Amino acid sequence: MNQAPQPIGVFDSGVGGLSVLREIRALLPSEELLYVADSGHAPYGDKAVQQVQARAERIIGFFVAQQVRAVVVACNTVTGLSIQALRQQFPQLPLVAIEPAVKPAVAATRSGTVGVLATQNTVRSPGLARLIAAHAGPVRVLAQACPGWVEMVERGELDGAASKAAVAACLEPLLAQGADVLVLGCTHYPFLRPLIEQRAGPGVQVLDPAAAVARELQRRLPLQAAQNQTTQTAAAGSTRFWSSGDCAHASGLISRLWGEPVRAAALPV
């Protein structure tokens, strides 16, 4: 008898990584997925590097205990600050990490100016600096910190006057300098995409790297597992959720963003 496939772990500082999880679910419908929202410690964007890395290590350790065969780091801040250290600490485990879509943004710009919307930690991270140095060339890449955006999404404030004003305040400097491509450099930000696109206008392209992360995960999985996803008889995989924050709030917010009722369990201390 074939052994049941090991699950895949996905985590973020909160609910933002659901924007990546939904792309993984769409591409790999038969996989067993585990999601951790570290909402009790969100946001990561203003924390010390050591704190961010410690939280990532703890969550990956939880996934290892669940016998996952791969982990998706659905948090740009963790990638920018700590992914190299995490790969050294967990060499036996494939770690697929999200990063801002600087390369495709540079290829897409017509004005020669690209804006990256991110947390403060991602803006000043060595990871983003490496991306810009490797891919920007003659294109001007402007990194814009967006304080309060993660907290808005964690509270479920995806519309309304205050949210629109917060989005507009961060977009204005980029639009004023001619940015015609905006990169969503935080997994929470796709849930604010309607506000971003409304303020930016039809002449500005908005890029979300989530689908590319799902494709990279598929590439990293064993070939036979990836092939199983295309069979008509493959059963739909389950998705389980944990939160380090208030589980009642997390369950309600995840249900809203995920599009179906779910129950988030408490992440073990």
User: Pick the catalytic residue: 146, 170, 186, 247?
Assistant: 186
Q: Is 75 a catalytic residue?
A: yes
N residues, the chain: 269
The one-letter amino acid at 47 = K
Q: 75: which residues sit within 8 A by CB, 6+ positions away?
A: 11, 12, 13, 16, 17, 44, 56, 98, 187
Q: Is 170 a catalytic residue?
A: no
User: Pick the catalytic residue: 75, 146, 170, 247?
Assistant: 75
Of 141, 120, 123, give the one whose Cα is nearest residue 132.
Answer: 141
Virtual CA dihedral for 101, 106, 111, 116, nearest 10 degrees? 30
Q: What gap in Å lies between CA 156 and CA 176, rounded to an integer?
A: 29
Residues marked active site are found at: 75, 186
